[in-house]
Structure 1
């Protein structure tokens, strides 16, 4: 052991930044059954909707009012937008809560967390690796759905303009760019769920508790947003802005709602991630 390493109390050649590489953690998470199941569910949703429209016929407006759902079969771009619309409120919450809430708690439930820290992997390094992979898989899930939906919708309904329910249409190239913006915004809006799940994952040894707690609190936020008696207080709820992305798929997009929603989501997420790192740094890990 070198004199420098001896004075630092570490083994010769030890580098904290080299412990638990992201590629190792990513491979571990990709091989897990829940990752494969979640990916399969998201990839199958567009096929389910195509079959539903084929059985039930083209969606039609109600009371003469045209909605985004009514334009689902107009083109592949419309079909992709509808898939995002029907899944953004709940279905896309699940992979975010799963990938970010199961990550640390699962190690504790397997009694392997203390061995990782004894490797030794610094606590902050372990959390950063877990969080980066969790967020990366969450983003991949959100990209997978519209990509598959666009391919399936184009095969079923053709490649064409994105028809807007309120009138007008977006050219295919512009529509693709706007869908990218929509996916990015949905990801940012789900950072609150990711923060909740990750914080709970550092507080419990039960993965189901962390995942279920994050999903449950997200649902509570949606319920509170439906209480109109709260008035302007709802502006502080992340759920209030979750569909602000609809303003991006207009002939003349409006960005104010998305900017406010991004600010609210990032504020909550930063606080929750900070709580996770602060609490885990002081936690007595015995699992």
Structure 2
């Protein structure tokens, strides 16, 4: 038994089959109780992704990095400044807060790009590579609903990876070097409570700045059946952006590169926090991300899915 849904401007009718009162193209036949918004719940998609091996491996990498840095400092000794210039790395062993900030400093440029590209680039492309994408759409799961569910879970996992790294770093650093104020490289100290709040802002900004990589990987995931191609393409283009940002001859054109603002969060760990750089960086990142997300949804809505 089927139910009919009248489209805007159409006349209500009965089940298709040449019944009087029905105009072709004015009705959409659905199953009783079918609700498009209830298909592929976020909980189901999140459980599926959490059980995958690459999620567990990435969580292990994020959790082990602070221990790797701790061993490196234990073997090589406390970092020392060079040429009289003190950096965040030089104060890594001053306190747990400094150690957590150092973990973010050494990973924000490249390491944190990996989980974002992996989680967002392996969404739709992995379903296509398993030949299960067409079965999801035939369930039926609306295409926009499928993309929204997968994108929300991918961004959630990316955010979790970014939170896990400094959180483990803060715990490990506090156990090794003690819980204390954040020693600012330019001079002065910041109370531990204030430092923890600033680190939350830093993580939030890093997440926003990585939206470009997430959107790029997600868009590529809707264009290819090869997850490695989507992930590798996003990582490769991110590296190209970093290379272009290093070309000083570009001058003010670098302001339009997301990579140019990736370390603007350093303004958050100053005695007086500056928002200018982070606001500009967020604006550039969100603008690129919205365009790429729109391209992904528009392209996938018209795509002939055969995988």
Aligned partner (choices 199, 215, 220) of residue 195 of structure 1:
215
* 8 Å CA contact retained: 2:2, 2:29: no
Q: Which has the larger radius of gyration?
A: 2
Secondary structure of 1:8's aligned partner: strand
Aligned partner (choices 182, 185, 202) of residue 165 of structure 1:
185
**Unpaired segments ≥5 residues, structure 1:** none
Provide the TM-score with structure 1 as the length reference.
0.99
Secondary structure of 2:179's aligned partner: coil
* 8 Å CA contact retained: 2:3, 2:31: no
Whichever structure has more helix as a proportion of its residues is: 1
Within 2, Cα distance between the matches of 1:245 and 1:220? 21
Aligned partner (choices 174, 178, 187) of residue 194 of structure 2:
174
The runs of at least 4 aligned residues of structure 1 exceeding 6 Å deviation read: none
Within 1, Cα distance between the matches of 2:37 and 2:101? 41
Secondary structure of 1:202's aligned partner: helix
Alignment: residue pair count? 287
**Unpaired segments ≥5 residues, structure 2:** 6-14, 16-26
Within 2, Cα distance between the matches of 1:27 and 1:19? 15
**Structure 1 position 2, deviation (Å):** 6.0
Larger relative contact order, structure 1 or 2 (CA cutoff 8 Å, min sep 6) = 1
Q: Does structure 1 residue 28 correspond to structure 2 residue 40?
A: no
Within 2, Cα distance between the matches of 1:170 and 1:195? 35
Question: What does residue range 70-149 of structure 1 map to in structure 2 within 5 Å?
Answer: 70-149=90-169
**Structure 1 position 116, deviation (Å):** 0.2
**Structure 1 position 48, deviation (Å):** 0.5
Q: Does structure 1 residue 52 correspond to structure 2 residue 75?
A: no
Aligned partner (choices 51, 65, 79) of residue 85 of structure 2:
65
Secondary structure of 2:58's aligned partner: helix
* 8 Å CA contact retained: 2:40, 2:146: yes
**Structure 1 position 3, deviation (Å):** 4.8
